[in-house]
Chain A
């Protein structure tokens, strides 16, 4: 229900929604009605209706092409290109023309033909294809407007637009600067949400329905997932100051997007990214980072059959190396189990899966699966600097066994004459037993997985918000243990990095750099703000004095 408060004129209305593009925006409220009404007219002959139909499709195509040219960026152009291609495809309109031949009016024939195709997308299991229904509605309505000779109502620049759904082509016609969008329907995977994200337009979906007649102003606050209509004085003042702070932080971080990570004293820090699979790399410029510090290879698996498919795995790894284009890439072997079950592979019904058969424990239970992945990885290593990292290592024997399997995989490839390289083999340091006895492990490199390390060290489950205080990454026990691992690595010239959430948390950056860590792996979205935090860092204690 909408919460309302009485006021002199229009009362404040707060509508909750789901943020799909972050930000704060305030402006004039524009509520878009559904464009359903079509002027009635006398139907012409089949020949006349056919040529009206053809003319409307051509006019809609021309309008989209002009919009594409103005849009300028690749994302917007690709979205519009889909509609242009569909309009040019006779298959799309053949049913409409057949209905016109049978005596139907152009509007009705077009709407019926399009609705049939739209419902086909609505029924798709895949979210991406389901979201294309909105592109087709967009296209349907543009042609209908052309048939009726109507133009869409103009929207003043910087408005807060509220609508049931907003087609991507309409989104591109609006001057957004400073404005925002709130939809009662919508999907985070829709093209309009992608556009809002890429253009930095704050956006909410799924907002509650409310009668907004009589209101003229609104603000969108994605921090609080809310659309506030007719905000009162106090709310507006608080909002304005948050908006100002956010703007300063954003501008500051933006300066660092494509610059290398460097401390205030000019020391270079290697800044890598964590990715699930290749799809995240689309639209990301490798120049913004120093490589990939963690590929969560298990997230590309669809089912147990993929575990045995060396060709598929190789293709997925190759794509990532092609993106990296010579920058280092660290691939983690399947880290299934725990919160990432795979039917037919992971162990069912464990009482405590986070303390159960997961990571390398599971891999060693299925050596044939691990060997297949190691072969795919060694083959991909021929394409660029690839390193293999083993998750959840607890005892030195586990890493030794993986090394034996890697040697076996490499020997097999050599015998078969398949192109390959021998990758370095390192380990995640995320189990306290391994961190405490790190000198006993034969690893080519170390990567500290702070999320699990903190959870296991503090005996506090990661998914419990009630225990958040116990999971403080800056508590002495955590810092001392990480420091110990870093010291050991430095003393023995073993490369060491940290790839948990701690590295993306700007509060933790000074502590991590104080310990001597000079390699961090972060979420792609955190690159700019982490670089900006590194740039503010000046080594206070040159000799790495004891911390905590």
Chain B
């Protein structure tokens, strides 16, 4: 997993990327965990399968599932807002931990 952040004017932007090791791909169960976690942040959060997008709203289960992400794909996260940095690193950690955490607490 790698991450970084930049500041454009007063807006915080952050990015991270991680390999999806979850068997079978981004299935319903991990996709629900991922969107639930994304929704906890105030920042706008996006997900993509390539560094240059297209960027998908990471808070929408319908959009995330429609990506049909296969096993071992590289996921890119981007966020914009006050907690952008926390959002992108939390999402990458969730994927890296194979969706072990963030599930039970996800409301």
A interface residues with partner B (beta carbon < 8 Å): 78-79, 81-82, 85-86, 88-92, 117, 120, 124, 126, 128-129, 132, 135, 277-279, 282, 302, 306, 311-312, 315-316, 318-319, 322
Contact = CB atoms under 8 A, between A and B. Distances in A.
Nearest to A77: B29
Given A78-B28, A135-B28, A316-B21, 13 more contacts: A79-B28, A81-B29, A82-B28, A85-B35, A86-B61, A89-B62, A91-B63, A126-B25, A128-B27, A129-B25, A129-B68, A318-B21, A322-B98
B28 A315 contact: no
Interface string B49-73: 0000000010011110110101110
Nearest to A79: B28
17 contacts: A79-B28, A81-B32, A85-B35, A85-B36, A89-B60, A92-B62, A117-B66, A124-B68, A126-B70, A128-B27, A129-B65, A129-B68, A132-B28, A279-B24, A312-B21, A319-B21, A319-B98
B63 A312 contact: no
Contacts of B24: 128, 279
Given A128-B27, A279-B23, A319-B98, A302 B60 contact: no
B19 A311 contact: yes
B70 A282 contact: no
A306 B21 CA distance: 13
Nearest to A88: B61
Q: Which 9 A-B residue pairings sit nearest by Cβ, starting from the closest?
A: A279-B23, A82-B28, A315-B21, A91-B62, A91-B60, A85-B61, A129-B68, A92-B62, A89-B62
B1 to A, nearest CB: 11
Contacts of A279: 23-24
Contacts of B71: 302
A278 B24 CA distance: 10
Contacts of B98: 319, 322
A132 B21 contact: no
Contacts of A278: 23
A297 to B, nearest CB: 14
A128 to B, nearest CB: 6
Given A81-B32, A82-B28, A85-B35, A132 B19 contact: no
A413 B49 CA distance: 31
A123 B74 CA distance: 22
A60 B63 CA distance: 21
